[in-house]
Structure 1
């Protein structure tokens, strides 16, 4: 699988092995870029498990996340 990381947006988590879960804008096999949440090694020579989102899916997720944070707050109070 061929990929090109067009924009590195955020590191979400770093594992003990040096791999990082990142949010990036990625073009897969020369196709239209999509937002991608995936584990990457330090040199980006391999591809870990992940999730690819169309822009409208990422924006929808952005609308849902604030509601989840309120729910999580209530769970930790209980």
Structure 2
């Protein structure tokens, strides 16, 4: 398997932290020296290991924000 290169261009914020110190974060990341995209995933302390996540463009992030803002009374289950 090829090495995955990443550069955390901007740390935007932490969404949560688990008991082992891993944090779920929203960051702007350049993957394999490509243009940066927004990324939500879990990271170990010091960002040396990562979990599975989702990477989205700025346009998709804006759409997600609009969808969340359009929710009337919080999260629907």
Q: Do they fold alike, i.e. is TM over 0.5?
A: yes
Tell me, in whole angstroms, the C-alpha distance in 2 between the residues paired with 1:39 and 1:33: 18
Aligned to 1:17: 20
TM-score using structure 2 length = 0.87
Aligned to 1:4: 7
Alignment of 1:67 onto 2:70: yes
Tell me, in whole angstroms, the C-alpha distance in 2 between the residues paired with 1:72 and 1:62: 13
CA RMSD of aligned residues (A): 1.7
Trace 1:38-53 onto structure 2 (pairs within 5 A): 38-53=41-56
Tell me, in whole angstroms, the C-alpha distance in 2 between the residues paired with 1:11 and 1:72: 20
- How far 1:5 sits from its partner (Å)? 0.2
Question: Equivalent residue of 1:63, what SS?
Answer: helix
**Following TM superposition, where does structure 1 have runs of at least 4 consecutive aligned residues deviating by more than 3 angstroms?**
none
Please identify which structure carries the higher strand content.
Answer: 2
TM-score using structure 1 length = 0.86
Question: Equivalent residue of 2:51, what SS?
Answer: coil
Please identify which structure carries the higher helix content.
Answer: 1
Give 5+ residue unaligned stretches, structure 1: none
- How far 1:71 sits from its partner (Å)? 4.5
Give 5+ residue unaligned stretches, structure 2: none
